Protein backbone atom coordinates (compact mmCIF):
# COMPACT_ATOMS: atom_id res chain seq x y z
CA UNK A 1 0.00 0.00 0.00
CA UNK A 2 1.19 3.49 -0.75
CA UNK A 3 2.64 5.69 2.02
CA UNK A 4 0.78 8.73 0.66
CA UNK A 5 -1.93 10.30 2.80
CA UNK A 6 -5.14 10.43 0.80
CA UNK A 7 -8.00 12.87 1.20
CA UNK A 8 -10.53 11.01 -0.94
CA UNK A 9 -11.25 7.61 -2.45
CA UNK A 10 -10.52 8.73 -6.02
CA UNK A 11 -6.98 9.69 -5.00
CA UNK A 12 -6.51 6.38 -3.22
CA UNK A 13 -7.71 4.32 -6.18
CA UNK A 14 -5.65 6.28 -8.72
CA UNK A 15 -2.44 5.44 -6.83
CA UNK A 16 -2.59 1.78 -7.93
CA UNK A 17 -1.89 0.01 -11.25
CA UNK A 18 -4.78 -0.07 -13.73
CA UNK A 19 -5.83 -3.66 -13.02
CA UNK A 20 -6.03 -2.99 -9.27
CA UNK A 21 -7.85 0.31 -9.87
CA UNK A 22 -10.48 -1.64 -11.79
CA UNK A 23 -11.01 -4.03 -8.86
CA UNK A 24 -11.19 -1.19 -6.35
CA UNK A 25 -13.74 0.64 -8.50
CA UNK A 26 -15.87 -2.51 -8.65
CA UNK A 27 -15.85 -2.87 -4.86
CA UNK A 28 -16.66 0.81 -4.43
CA UNK A 29 -19.58 0.62 -6.86
CA UNK A 30 -21.06 -2.45 -5.16
CA UNK A 31 -20.86 -0.69 -1.79
CA UNK A 32 -22.50 2.43 -3.24
CA UNK A 33 -25.35 0.36 -4.70
CA UNK A 34 -25.84 -1.60 -1.47
CA UNK A 35 -25.78 1.52 0.74
CA UNK A 36 -26.71 4.52 -1.46
CA UNK A 37 -26.95 6.85 1.56
CA UNK A 38 -23.47 6.01 2.83
CA UNK A 39 -20.86 8.76 3.10
CA UNK A 40 -17.46 8.14 1.55
CA UNK A 41 -14.31 9.01 3.46
CA UNK A 42 -10.77 7.89 4.15
CA UNK A 43 -10.25 6.22 7.52
CA UNK A 44 -7.13 4.44 8.73
CA UNK A 45 -5.58 5.37 5.37
CA UNK A 46 -8.11 3.41 3.33
CA UNK A 47 -11.45 3.95 1.59
CA UNK A 48 -14.31 3.83 4.06
CA UNK A 49 -18.05 4.31 4.17
CA UNK A 50 -20.23 5.51 7.04
CA UNK A 51 -23.95 5.46 7.66
CA UNK A 52 -25.75 7.14 10.52
CA UNK A 53 -22.40 8.58 11.61
CA UNK A 54 -21.00 5.09 12.25
CA UNK A 55 -18.43 3.05 10.29
CA UNK A 56 -20.00 0.77 7.69
CA UNK A 57 -17.24 -0.96 5.68
CA UNK A 58 -13.65 -0.34 4.58
CA UNK A 59 -11.61 -1.74 1.71
CA UNK A 60 -7.98 -1.53 0.62
CA UNK A 61 -5.51 -2.88 -1.92
CA UNK A 62 -2.40 -4.80 -0.95
CA UNK A 63 0.32 -6.61 -2.90
CA UNK A 64 -1.63 -9.84 -3.31
CA UNK A 65 -5.20 -9.10 -2.32
CA UNK A 66 -8.06 -6.69 -1.78
CA UNK A 67 -8.85 -6.38 1.91
CA UNK A 68 -12.46 -5.93 3.02
CA UNK A 69 -13.45 -4.91 6.53
CA UNK A 70 -17.04 -5.08 7.81
CA UNK A 71 -16.30 -4.82 11.50
CA UNK A 72 -17.20 -6.73 13.52
CA UNK A 73 -20.54 -8.31 12.81
CA UNK A 74 -20.41 -8.42 9.02
CA UNK A 75 -17.76 -11.11 9.15
CA UNK A 76 -19.56 -13.14 11.82
CA UNK A 77 -22.89 -13.05 10.00
CA UNK A 78 -21.34 -14.31 6.73
CA UNK A 79 -18.70 -16.60 8.26
CA UNK A 80 -19.61 -19.66 6.21
CA UNK A 81 -19.46 -17.78 2.89
CA UNK A 82 -16.17 -16.13 3.87
CA UNK A 83 -14.59 -19.37 5.10
CA UNK A 84 -12.79 -19.96 1.78
CA UNK A 85 -10.82 -16.73 2.14
CA UNK A 86 -7.88 -15.85 4.35
CA UNK A 87 -9.11 -13.81 7.29
CA UNK A 88 -7.73 -11.75 10.13
CA UNK A 89 -9.48 -10.12 13.03
CA UNK A 90 -12.22 -8.17 11.29
CA UNK A 91 -10.75 -8.55 7.81
CA UNK A 92 -11.04 -10.82 4.83
CA UNK A 93 -8.63 -11.07 1.90
CA UNK A 94 -9.84 -11.49 -1.66
CA UNK A 95 -6.81 -12.67 -3.69
CA UNK A 96 -5.81 -10.73 -6.78
CA UNK A 97 -6.19 -12.91 -9.85
CA UNK A 98 -9.43 -14.49 -8.61
CA UNK A 99 -12.93 -13.16 -9.25
CA UNK A 100 -14.10 -10.78 -6.54
CA UNK A 101 -17.19 -12.02 -4.67
CA UNK A 102 -19.03 -8.78 -5.44
CA UNK A 103 -22.47 -10.19 -4.63
CA UNK A 104 -21.20 -11.18 -1.19
CA UNK A 105 -19.62 -7.74 -0.65
CA UNK A 106 -22.98 -6.19 -1.50
CA UNK A 107 -24.93 -8.43 0.86
CA UNK A 108 -22.48 -7.80 3.71
CA UNK A 109 -22.72 -4.05 3.09
CA UNK A 110 -26.54 -4.16 3.14
CA UNK A 111 -26.44 -6.16 6.36
CA UNK A 112 -24.11 -3.61 7.99
CA UNK A 113 -26.21 -0.66 6.73
CA UNK A 114 -29.34 -2.16 8.29
CA UNK A 115 -27.43 -2.76 11.51
CA UNK A 116 -26.35 0.89 11.61
CA UNK A 117 -29.93 2.02 10.92
CA UNK A 118 -31.23 -0.05 13.81
CA UNK A 119 -28.61 1.39 16.17
CA UNK A 120 -29.27 5.00 15.11
Burial class of residue 62 (count of CB atoms within 10 Å of its CB; 0-12, 13-18, 19+): exposed
pLDDT at 14 over 70: yes
> For residues 20 and 73, is the Cβ–Cβ distance under 8 A?
no
What separation in angstroms does the CA of 11 have from each of 47, 65, 75, 113? 10, 19, 27, 25
For the chain, domains (ranges, CATH) are 9-113 (3.90.1150.200)
Separation of alpha carbons 115 and 120, rounded Å: 9
> For residues 13 and 21, is the Cβ–Cβ distance under 8 A?
yes
Q: What is the pTM of this model?
A: 0.93
Tell me the pLDDT tens digit for each residue of 76-109: 899 999 999 999 888 999 999 999 999 999 999 9
Separation of alpha carbons 14 and 48, rounded Å: 16
Tell me the pLDDT tens digit for each residue of 53-84: 999 999 999 999 999 999 778 888 999 999 99
Amino acid sequence: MSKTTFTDIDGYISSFPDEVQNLLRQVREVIRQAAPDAEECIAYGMPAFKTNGKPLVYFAAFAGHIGFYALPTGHKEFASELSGYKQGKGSVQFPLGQPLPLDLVGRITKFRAEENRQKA
